[in-house]
Amino acid sequence: MDYKSLKANTIIGKTDIYLVGVYTDKRLSHLGKSIAKLNIELAKKCFNKNDFTGNIGDHRTIDDFKNNVQILFFGLGDKDKYSPLTLNKSIKGIISKIKDIHVTNISINTDNIISKRNNVTLELLVTYLEDGFYKYIYKKEKKKSKIKSCNLISNKIFPRKAFITSVTNGKAISNGIKLAKDLGNTPPNICNPTFLSNEAIKLKKINKKLKVTVINEAKMKSMGMGSLLSVSQGSKEPAKLVAIEYMPVKNKQPIVLVGKGITFDTGGISLKPSPNMDEMKYDMSGAGSVLGTMKALAEMNINKNVIGIIACAENMPGSQATRPGDVYTSMSGLTIEILNTDAEGRLVLCDALTYSRKYKPKYMIDMATLTGACLVGLGKYPSGLFSNDQKLAELIKKSADKTGDRVWQLPLYDDYFEELKTNFADIQNIGGRYGGAITAAAFLAKFTDGVKWAHLDIAGTAWEVGKNKGSTGRPVSLLIDFVLSN
């Protein structure tokens, strides 16, 4: 959409719908002169008569026939609990009510929404508005909303330069989230490792500073990536390791983002049960979030060094597939005994992490739909956070709070590493029955000595189930904020 900043000193006209966020206190003093006094009084009566609560998901409509405007009040929830997370829920809910109706322009009052104290910025609002219109359709000709423009109404007009920057960045972040969602939602017969590598190559069109390198299986073999290759060998689809380099600043250590890109996960020989196996197309969501983040940062043309690494493979059973009990040598030289072929994400990531060390990163963060154990432990709300550096963990938490893309830190005690010992190799790929998300992170930590590293387990947060089934695009917004803040 196109955005304009308008001052709330005159009654809104030349718009189809005026969106007004209201807290549970139901106060309307922030509206200024954008709504006639008669309509404000009418709204108050409507709130009381129709029991409008101001809770998230609640909304009421009144018509301003004189100015030919529909005024739509929507709940922002409890003011004391207001945050980026609650705003995101509110905006998604109200956009879902209007995105398919026949209007071309909307307006939204920002005075009750933008709050520096609550980490809600204009950039964040634009991101949520744009993301609210997202819909995946398996067609080349995608139906688009007829809403083309949005007026941002406030008692003070935003400074022009800051306004343009916030809108541009908000759109870029939304575009990154959209790419991550599209990749996750694409059917796995289309979204294979080669497809993902081609999507990475397309990013070069956005910014000439991007350099993309695709490493094929022959090259991986020569580099000693036996762990990654052990996952792909049961599939006819060849694995790909992709490096996306964005290095505009000389002699500065980059932030390296590493994503798991298992484009479909059957479990291999350790075959998964069939119910809900279709959701295993989302097992490449870590890679999708890296691609989405790199797209957004390239569109912003930031002056920071960032590297995106995606390790892509398809985990299938077959005559050449890895068996439980097989031993492979990773790029690091550590030998790995495979006890469960469904614990494959860590096998592709460990070689990707070793490869990433060549960039001498300031920070290295990997994200992966790694374990069902994380979903059992934390549910579908926060991503699991693990790190070998507490300062880095705190920085990630700060970005999580700012974006509403929540994380929860779990421990990496030495005890968990003991569970990875085996008589037949340097390390085995699973631990004991309990704490599976932690032993998986401990496995990855073995390949990060000397590097400030963090791992995000997004198994519970990368996609929604039920009526809203689909990719969430998480943790793109968190990663973008982390890069921009550090």
* pLDDT at res. 141: 60
Catalytic, 346? Answer: yes
Query: Tokens for 451?
Result: 């590097």
Over the chain (486 residues), the average pLDDT of each successive run of 10 is 88 86 92 86 87 94 87 96 96 92 92 93 97 86 77 92 96 98 97 98 96 98 98 98 97 97 98 96 98 98 97 97 98 98 98 98 98 96 98 98 97 97 98 96 98 98 95 98 97
Convert the pLDDT of each residue in 51-74 to its tens digit.
899 999 999 999 888 888 899 999
* pLDDT at res. 89: 96
Angle at 134 between CA 24 and CA 406, to 5 degrees: 55
* pLDDT at res. 67: 82
Of the candidates 178, 346, 452, 474, the residue annotated as catalytic is 346
For helices 160-185 and 285-300, what crossing angle results, to 10°?
A: 160
List domains and CATH numbers for the chain: 2-158 (3.40.220.10), 178-485 (3.40.630.10)
Of the candidates 99, 272, 304, 398, the residue annotated as catalytic is 272
Bin 108: left if φ > 0, else alpha if -120 < ψ < 50, else beta.
beta
Residues 10 and 2: their CA atoms lie apart, in Å, by: 21
